[in-house]
């Protein structure tokens, strides 16, 4: 087993925490949406975040890392979502603008990881590709826009 760097461990913990926050954030957005289809899509986004976090949780445990408790991360995320009053089109547009930037960050995490961690990290990276694919499809009105997220939840791949 390779010795991970402190930067890798800190980044891994932060990204894991962000997935836990994302789970609560998307659930909170879904709670405020009145359109059943939009609500369903945000709940799928939350499931994708949960799946990604679960993929790297064994790494958190393997290295004895202590992330911020989920209850605290959820509270912060729900608070943030409560301030987010954008309509659906603006929400999708903003996510389309910001999510692609995360891909480079996930690849950077993979680049600093010990080789034995790569498979779990690829599942983490793939969740962002699935979300981006969904957002692009949603933006053009694809009636099956959630297919990339459903595929990811079945296999961890895109």
For residue 1, pLDDT beyond 70: no
Task: State residue 2's pLDDT score.
Answer: 73
- Please tell me the least confidently modeled range out of 81-90, 126-135, 144-153: 81-90
φ, ψ of residue 146 to 5 degrees: the values are -80, -5
Task: State residue 115's pLDDT score.
Answer: 96
CA distance 66 to 85: 33
Average pLDDT over residues 109-130: 97
Q: Count the neighbouring beta carbons within 10 Å of the beta carbon of residue 101.
A: 9
- Give the CATH number of domain 6-155; options: 3.20.20.370, 3.40.190.10, 1.20.1260.10, 3.40.50.2300: 1.20.1260.10
Task: State residue 137's pLDDT score.
Answer: 98
CA distance 46 to 134: 13
For residue 117, pLDDT beyond 70: yes
The answer to whether 124 and 52 are in contact (CB under 8 A) is yes
Give 29-87 pLDDT, tens digit per residue: 999 999 999 999 999 999 999 999 999 999 999 999 999 999 999 999 999 998 888 89
Residue 67 is inside which H or E element, if any?
none
For residue 111, pLDDT beyond 90: yes
Using DSSP, state whether 35 is helix, strand or coil.
coil
Q: What residue spans define the domains of the chain?
A: 6-155
Q: Count the neighbouring beta carbons within 10 Å of the beta carbon of residue 79.
A: 12
Burial class of residue 102, CB neighbours in 10 A (0-12, 13-18, 19+): middle
Look up the pTM and report it: 0.95
Task: State residue 113's pLDDT score.
Answer: 97
CA distance 123 to 153: 10
Task: State residue 85's pLDDT score.
Answer: 81
């Amino acid at each position: 087993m390779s010795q991970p760097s402190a930067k890798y461990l800190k980044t891994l913990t932060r990204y894991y925490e962000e997935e836990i926050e994302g789970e609560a954030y998307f659930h909170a957005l879904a709670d405020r949406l009145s359109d059943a289809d939009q609500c369903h899509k945000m709940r799928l986004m939350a499931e994708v975040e949960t799946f990604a976090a679960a993929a790297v949780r064994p790494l958190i445990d393997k290295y004895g890392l202590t992330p911020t408790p989920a209850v605290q991360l959820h509270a912060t995320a729900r608070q943030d979502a409560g301030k987010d009053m954008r309509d659906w089109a603006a929400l999708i547009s903003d996510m389309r603008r910001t999510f692609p930037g995360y891909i480079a960050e996930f690849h950077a995490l993979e680049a600093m990881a010990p080789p034995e961690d790569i498979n779990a990290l690829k599942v983490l990276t793939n969740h962002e590709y699935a979300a981006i694919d969904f957002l692009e499809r949603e933006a053009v009105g694809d009636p099956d826009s959630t297919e990339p997220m459903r595929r990811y939840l079945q296999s961890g791949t895109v």
